[in-house]
Structure 1
């Protein structure tokens, strides 16, 4: 059930980008189960509304294209008017364009990937920081991937050693850098900023070849989205604990 009202100033408020399908939708569902008012953000509002209608809890679908400044401004204004704060931001929206190795990667594909996976995350986070500062929980989770780990790629026995994609992999490496640098900047304000690897999950990003369900992936994401004030920051985590950068 989708409801569009705020049930009290103390209720925690979250926003999930790319929340209309896959891992994002499962994260929305789990946060709503935890009592959050969740803004389900999607590029196509109709798809967001359809997704929200299938879920239980307080969920507000909003239109948000992370690459469109006007769309982002409208979303921020809506959240400001309805809630006046944001406790948790889950930067879930992402894409993978092409599968070329470094020597053959098309620059347009590289730019398109970075536009969403890095620049979009930076833009959304910067725009929402005032609302996050007004919130009590001050938590940011960036969905990364073990494919973004430089250390793991240096190991010859890395299970995904052959997945040598310049665009996607390096965009997640850059995202991890943003995570660490932002966490350092905001540490004294009580923020928790972490990258989370949900694991190889069956979504349309990989033609549903992943071995994990979206529910399993969402459980890891929400674990770090709902950290207490003593929780870690500036980390790279997966279901089993920390990952090397």
Structure 2
């Protein structure tokens, strides 16, 4: 990187930092009820323009998405919701953190994929009360898997987590789930035995779609009825694939219900 380019980037980071300080001032909790969308838009517009000029492309991209959402909110002329205010706070926190990191290492390329997806998919309806969320049961003895699934699906599901299939069976007796995600290789009772219990027993979740997480190709029982609405997904877990399988599982059960 040429010296003049480094100087430009460093100078721009100082400007971005000043802009973020202005934005953070606008987002003080006491300003919630009288939030100045126009002022926030101006800050976002300045942030986008300066970051783009200095080739901080990921900052420019996510800010462009926020800018579009701000225009939409302004045109709706509705009161600012807590969910939208929270999204603005998340945006400002992540941008501010990235600026601090870039000042330490100018060559970094901050990743805002998750944030940009949140912004692009934001609707007031997506922020309904937890009781309205779909119910997901996650069965895995690895807490890291819970953290990953919660990160990838937590906005769309209320997640119950248990570490083994025996506990999952007890939960399935008292709770209806929209989706079950389960490790295939577990102690005491493996995934296949768990599926057999649900499908052939008197469980409330006899038809609940399931996604099995596995690092190998298991030998399966031959009964086709066990594997209806069951999906197998390779480890390690990839976000796009998990969301795809979750969508497919829910669509399949809805089709079956309509057909019946």
Q: TM over 0.5, yes or no? A: no
Which of 1 and 2 has higher RCO (CA within 8 Å, sep 6+)?
A: 1
**Structure ranking higher in helix proportion:** 2
Bigger Cα Rg:
2
TM-score with structure 1 length normalisation?
0.28
